Structure formats: C-alpha cells, structure tokens
C-alpha cells in the first residue's frame, strides 16, 4: 500500500518534512572546477563610508566585495590606502619571508623534525596586510594561520622554530602544539586549539582596555567554519552591547578542514552579513587583495580607536594548501582549484602592482625570495642546535610542575621532589638519549 500523507487533527493533509544538507557545487575528480557563482565586482566600485558612520551604512558592504587592485594591476577607488612604495615593498618582503618559512617548516615536518605544521599559502594578506594596519601594541588574538602577524611585528624566526620543534629553546617549554605561539612582548595572545575561544577573549580584553581608559584596541582572527561555534556569537553580542573597541576578522578561505563553507552557513548569506543582525559595522573584502585588506583593517582600527564601535570583516580568500600537514585535500576538493581561484594570488598581485608602478621588477623579486629562503634556512639550522622533536628530553624534568601557580603550593612541591627521587633512582647515570 502506497504511503499516504499524514493528517493533522483537522483531517487535513500535511506535506512530509525534508532536511537540507549543504552540498558543494562540484566534486573532486568528478566535476570540473566551477567558481562561476562568485560575483567579482569592479575594483574601486565600492563606497567608503566615514569610519564613524552608523553600522546601517555598511549593510551594502556586507554583501559586496571591497576591491582596490584591478586587472590592470593599479589601485582604484576610495578604498585605495595610497601606501608609498617603500611600505609596499616592506609588505612584499613579509610575504616572501612567510612563504619561505612555510615551505621550510613543511619540509621539516615531512622529515620528522616536528609533528605538525599549518601553512597560510594564499591567505598571507589577511594577516600581514592587516597587521601592518594596526599599531604594534594593539592586542591580537589569532587563530592558527596568522604567523604573518608575528613576522610583521618582528618576532624572531628562531623563536618560532624553537616552538615548532618543542626543543630546549622553546619558551613555551613544549607545552603547546606546534605553531601555537604566544608572546606578551609582541601583544600576541596564546593560540588555542579550541576553536573560536579567542573571539570572546578579544572582546573581553577590548572592554577592559576601554574600562581602563587605555588607547589600545584588540583584533581577532577566526575561520569561517569557526563562526558556527557559540563562542563567536557570544563575542558578537558583547561587542555590540558594549561597543567594544575590537575588530572581528573572519577568514573565509572556503574550507574548514574538509567541510566547505556551506556547513557554517555560507550558502544562506555572506559571513559579513552576520554583522547586520548584531548591529555591528560589517565589511566584506577581497582577501587576496593586499591593499583592500590593509584599507579595511585600517578603517576598522580607526573606528574602534575613536570609540565609534566594533567591526566584523569577512576576508573572502582561498586556502591554497591543505588544512595542515595531517590533511590530504585531494579527498574533498579538486587539485585544479588553486589555479582556478578567480581572485588570484596575493603575493603575485602585490608584486605586479609594484612593477606596474615602476617600483619593482622580476629580478629584484627573485633576489628577495632567495634572501628570504636563505634567512629561514640559517635560522632553522640555528634552532636545530636546540634539538628537534623526539630527540631526547629538551626541557628539564622539573618544569612539568612549574608555571601552574604563581607560587608553587606544597603538594606540587612534594610531587616534584618525589618524582625527581624516583627518576634519579631509575636512571642513576642520567636519562639515556
């Protein structure tokens, strides 16, 4: 007997309910890469409201795409930050350094020198250009793909490598997963593997800064997949209610590990549109346009610094590599996606812009890339003198009991002494390497 529609109490037919499950528009090795649904507006066509505007004036920018660099490699429109050539070359140098660093650390992981690494290839502008738009002492609450922020702020590469290798030079004493840096001196908050926890922390820090009548603002970065976490929405609520001096940077790189952005709500609306419901100023930016990234972050920073309110920025970009060294992206996306991405490569776009201005050339670019690779190689060799992962105990045994309390309590001190005695008894000649 055929299934019949259910009837309600009044005897009326009711339709069967269905559930929508997001699906990518194409599958790897089965369909052609298709980015035709992405609307790319003309560079320079987007309006630029005053930094102190009512959030409602930014609603149109939540669905548009702020762009500065056009296909002619020139800057266009009101969002052009008009950076001088020296600043552009400095930005390009940071790009070259972070790419060289990523390549060396990726190889180090494949050689067994560390357990884990995450590249930021294709997303460099979302951290480097934005960091350059902030003040050096503004507090940043990063996710795990913002190594460019530390490089912009002059954090020594050797210290980054020590942390990645968890060796005797690691200032975090091997207690953090590789790439989860922390530096109070560089106003760089500890990276956490728990997704989106940094967003309410950034808002809380910004609120505290305002309460103390300080001048520093906060900025945080989060992937588009992590915006589905409750912490992100709590952060938006507090930022809106208390008008915290904070910037919420959402890096929409199209993929949250192996899940495409539709599972985080990207099918229904842009991620910048979430600003509208919370009463936040919102911007949607070409994340592969270094000038647009700088201009948007500077706009939001000026807005926060003048008590005009917080801003949510969606940087529309593309993760060109795997999620991490533990990921094989060929299982969920086509190998041709990287080349087909319509917004190009941020490093190439900035390089071509400088060449178009007559301030750069391919020969100097090759020389810059070579020097960056040599510097990273030199610093890596120096850091490896402190050890690599798995080669001996790199941190003194007693450090496992330290840094939990400001003053070590009696029970931890007792456990420390007991463990040391047992260790000395088991290994009277020292721990074998």
**What confidence score (pLDDT) does residue 2 get?**
57
> 55-325+334-384 adopts what CATH topology?
Rossmann fold (3.40.50)
What are the angstrom distances between the C-alpha of 291 and each of 78, 176, 274, 285? Answer: 12, 34, 24, 10
Edge to edge, the sheet with strand 246-252 lists 139-141, 218-223, 246-252, 311-316, 281-286
Beta bridge partners of 188: 140, 183
d(CA 235, CA 43): 32
What pairing do the DSSP bridges indicate for beta strands 218-223 and 246-252? parallel
Per-residue confidence band for 6, with pLDDT thresholds at 50, 70 and 90: low
* Residue range(s) occupied by CATH 3.40.50.970 in the chain: 55-325+334-384
Please state, for a pLDDT cut of 90, what percent of the chain lies above it: 80
Average pLDDT over residues 82-104: 98
**What confidence score (pLDDT) does residue 3 get?**
61
Please tell me the pTM assigned to this model: 0.93
Residues 6+ apart with CB under 8 A from 159: 169, 171, 183
Residues 6+ apart with CB under 8 A from 376: 97, 100, 101, 103, 104, 157
State the average pLDDT for the chain. 94
**What confidence score (pLDDT) does residue 430 get?**
75
Residues 6+ apart with CB under 8 A from 393: 431
Average pLDDT over residues 90-116: 97
Per-residue confidence band for 334, with pLDDT thresholds at 50, 70 and 90: confident
**What confidence score (pLDDT) does residue 398 get?**
79
Please state, for a pLDDT cut of 70, what percent of the chain lies above it: 96
Beta bridge partners of 284: 314
């Amino acid at each position: 007997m055929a299934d019949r529609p259910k009837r309600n109490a009044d005897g009326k037919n009711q339709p069967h309910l269905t559930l929508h499950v997001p699906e990518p528009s194409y599958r790897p090795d089965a369909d052609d890469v298709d980015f035709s649904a992405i609307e790319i507006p003309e560079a320079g066509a987007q309006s630029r409201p005053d930094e102190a505007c009512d959030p409602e004036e930014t609603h149109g920018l939540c669905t548009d795409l702020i762009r500065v660099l056009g296909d002619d490699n020139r800057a266009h429109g009101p969002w052009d930050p008009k950076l001088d050539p020296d600043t552009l070359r400095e930005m390009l140098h940071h790009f070259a350094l972070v790419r060289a660093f990523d390549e060396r650390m990726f190889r180090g992981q494949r050689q067994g020198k560390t357990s884990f690494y995450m590249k930021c290839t294709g997303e460099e502008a979302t951290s480097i250009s934005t960091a350059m738009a902030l003040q050096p002492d503004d507090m940043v609450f990063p996710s795990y793909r913002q190594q460019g922020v530390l490089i912009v702020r002059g954090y020594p590469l050797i210290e980054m490598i020590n942390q990645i290798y968890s060796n005797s030079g690691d200032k975090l004493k091997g207690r953090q997963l590789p790439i989860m840096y922390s530096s109070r001196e560089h106003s760089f908050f500890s990276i956490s593997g728990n997704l989106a926890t940094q967003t309410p922390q950034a808002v809380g820090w910004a609120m505290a800064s305002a309460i103390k009548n300080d001048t520093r603002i906060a900025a945080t970065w989060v992937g588009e997949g992590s915006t589905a976490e409750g912490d992100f929405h709590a952060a938006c609520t507090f930022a809106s209610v208390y008008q915290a001096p904070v910037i919420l940077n959402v890096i929409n790189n199209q993929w949250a590990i192996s899940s495409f952005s539709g599972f985080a709500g990207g099918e229904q609306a842009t991620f910048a549109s979430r600003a509208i419901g919370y009463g936040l100023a919102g911007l949607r930016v070409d994340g592969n346009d270094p000038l647009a990234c700088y201009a948007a972050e500077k706009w939001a920073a000026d807005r926060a610094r003048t008590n005009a309110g917080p801003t949510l920025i969606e940087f529309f970009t593309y993760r060109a590599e795997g999620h991490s060294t533990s990921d094989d992206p060929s299982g969920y996306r086509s190998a041709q996606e990287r080349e087909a991405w319509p917004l190009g490569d941020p490093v190439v776009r900035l390089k071509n812009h400088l060449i178009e201005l007559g301030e750069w050339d391919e020969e100097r670019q090759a020389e810059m890339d070579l020097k960056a690779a040599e510097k990273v190689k030199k610093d890596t060799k120096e850091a490896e003198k402190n050890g690599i992962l798995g080669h001996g105990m790199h941190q003194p045994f007693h450090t496992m009991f330290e840094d939990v309390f400001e003053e070590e309590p009696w029970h931890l001190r007792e456990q420390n002494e007991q463990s040391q005695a047992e260790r000395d008894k088991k290994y009277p000649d020292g721990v074998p390497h």
